Structures are given as structure tokens and as C-alpha cells.
Structure 1
Amino acid sequence: MRRVLLALGAAISAASLTPALSADAEHGKALYAACATCHQDKPDALGPSLKGVFGRKSAALDDFRYSNPMKRANLVWDEANLRDYIADPQAKVRGNRMPFDGLHDPRDVDDIVEYIKTYK
């Protein structure tokens, strides 16, 4: 019985890792084109730069005017927080200014996150 439970646990763990392991950065790049409309690498962009976003605190760039909810969010942008935000920005940081409803397909979210990892 114990072996069955261990095998089941291992299978569940492997299944939960599968989307991240199979994420497609090229597809993410294509999806990110819509994000790039606002998230450019220049101070007058509509959204903050996502260059080097992993490990950065929310509302940390000096050259962007963030909403008060984003300033109060006190997030560190890791994969989990970024996935949650891309999937549903208003649920993750209620009242933020980003006019985006989120991506509802978890594979698309994984693919964009995979692409953003390369965006340095």
C-alpha cells in the first residue's frame, strides 16, 4: 500500500510539473506581442518594462508611475506570482490599472512566462 501511495504521489508531482517543462517560449513570444504594445523598454511606455522582472519587487522601477494598489501589493515577481497575475491581474492585485482581462488558457500563461524568462 505504501508503494502505491508513493507512486501515486510521484505521478501527481510529475503531472503538476508537466506544463512548465513543456512550455513553448516561441509561442509565448508570439503571445507577448500583444503585451509589447504597453510593456516596452522605454520610460514613456504605457506599462513598466518586463526586462529583468524575475526577482524584482512590484512597483520597483523608478521610471514608471505605478498605481497605489500595485505599490501596496508588495510582491516579488517570481514564476508563481507572474503566472497568477497574467491569468487574472485584478484577482492578483485588485484595483491595478492594467487594462487586461488575463489569459485563461494555462498553457498560454506558461508559454508567456517561459518567453519572459528569456527577455533580459
Structure 2
Amino acid sequence: MDDRFNTAAGWVLFSGVVALGLSSVSAKYFHADRPERPEAMGFPIEGVVEEGAGGEAGPDLGTLLASADAAAGEKAAQGRCGTCHTFDQGGAAKQGPNLWAVMGKPIGKHAAGFAYSSALSGHGGDWTFENMDAWLKSPKAFAPGTKMSFAGLSNAEDRANILLYLKQQGGGPELPAPAAAAAEAPAAGAAEDAAAGDPTAGAGPAEKPGPEAAGAVASPANDGPTKSTVGVQ
């Protein structure tokens, strides 16, 4: 009885060793024929921009400002920036300067007496709509080293609303024209210049002379009475 049990156990153990060996050999064989996993899964599709690549897509700033809502901008500015800033004329400085009439003013210098960081006061330029939009999007990217702790506002429409509200609070430069309108203006001007330089532009087709005019050109001019030649032999 013990011999048969030992024999059976031996065969089971032997089968396990053989199976383990075959598994190891097959794994190495198939791994050698299998291509390595690519670093980038899938394949790119032409015309599709990956998220985060090529910058943010969407309407240009002029187009966004043309349809912006100053009331929504006031709500967004008070909610996101009101802790550190005031927006009314003569408002006190808080952690940040008062922002009345900031648009169009020199960057980092519009509020007299406020201690701006050197990153902002030494930036140069004015608070144009483009500069303020970039600042609201990412203060640290616009002026590295700034003391402002605000991370930034990624939504372009919210930024446009705030920009329009800031313009209403004390004025500022003219709004930038939408890209589509700016592109149409030179085309219209070129068409007008072409028409002005061409004397035939806008003129209709030349009139053909009638039969009376043709006859007048063909017959010679006579000062005296005209003699008929009918019946002359």
C-alpha cells in the first residue's frame, strides 16, 4: 500500500516538475516572437489636436469681448478677486491694489503707493486687454516671481467678462476687433483701391453706334445743297 502511494506521489511530483519546465520554456519562446509594447499606444489622427497640445482652442480675444457680459464679469471678479482687491473709485488697497481704472495703465505702477513685486513693477508695458488676459490666465507665467498667489482662470469666456467689467470701472483702451472683422477690413480696402485705380471700373459696356451715327460717319460733309444722282445717265 505504501509503495503504491509513494509511486503515485512520485509521478504527481514528476508531472508537476515537467509542467513547470514546459511553462517556462513556452513563455520564453512566445515572448521572443511577441513585439514589444509600444511607448505610445494607438496612432495619431490627422487634424486632431491632443488635449494640452497647441494651446487652447477657441475664439480670439476680440470675438470673446464682443459678446462678453460685464454683469457676469462683475460677479466673477467680486467672487474670485474681491478678497484681495477693490474695484470702485477711491477703494482701499487690500492684499492687492485697488483696480479702478487699471486698464491701459502701466503694469505694476497704476496704484500709487502700493508695494508691487519687482516681477510686476519691472515687467514693462501697459495693461492692454491681451496682457490682462494673459495675467488672469496665469499670473506666475505672465510675471514669474510675482507675489500674487492666484493660480489663474482657465475659462476664456470668464476672463473676457472680467476684462469688460474692468473697462467699465474707469475706462481703458478700445476693445480689440474680432479676428474675422479685422481680416475683412483689408480685403474691403483693397477692393476699393482697385476700383479707384481702374477708370473703367463700375462702367457699363460701351454702347454700339446706331445706324444714324454710322451713316453720319460714312457720308462726306457737304456745305452746299445735295444733288440727287437718281436717273442721271
Q: Same fold (TM over 0.5)?
A: yes
Instruction: Give yes or no for the alignment of 1:39 onto 2:109.
Output: no
| Aligned match for 2:98, one of 33, 49, 57 | 49
5+ residue gaps, structure 2, are 1-58, 171-233
| Aligned match for 1:58, one of 107, 115, 138 | 107
The alpha-carbon deviation at position 48 of structure 1 amounts to: 1.0
Please give the per-residue CA displacement for 1:27-64, whole angstroms capped at 9, x wherever unaligned: 11110112121112214x11011111112112212221
Residues 1-120 of structure 1 aligned to structure 2 (within 5 Å):
16=60, 17-33=62-78, 34-40=80-86, 41-43=91-93, 45-60=94-109, 61-120=111-170
The alpha-carbon deviation at position 74 of structure 1 amounts to: 1.1
The alpha-carbon deviation at position 72 of structure 1 amounts to: 1.1
The match for 2:27 is none
TM-score of the pair, normalised by structure 2: 0.43
The alpha-carbon deviation at position 79 of structure 1 amounts to: 0.6
Moved over 6 A (4+): none
TM-score of the pair, normalised by structure 1: 0.81
Letter in structure 2 aligned against 1:55: G
The match for 1:8 is none
Please give the per-residue CA displacement for 1:13-34, whole angstroms capped at 9, x wherever unaligned: xx53321111111111110112
Distance 1:80 1:31 in 2: 19
| SS of equivalent residue, structure 1 residue 70 | helix
Please give the per-residue CA displacement for 1:84-112, whole angstroms capped at 9, x wherever unaligned: 10011111111101110110010001011
| SS of equivalent residue, structure 1 residue 86 | helix
| SS of equivalent residue, structure 2 residue 151 | coil
| SS of equivalent residue, structure 1 residue 73 | coil
Distance 1:55 1:32 in 2: 18
Distance 1:49 1:108 in 2: 20
Distance 2:104 2:168 in 1: 14
Distance 2:136 2:75 in 1: 15
Provide the alpha-carbon RMSD of the alignment: 1.3
The alpha-carbon deviation at position 75 of structure 1 amounts to: 2.6
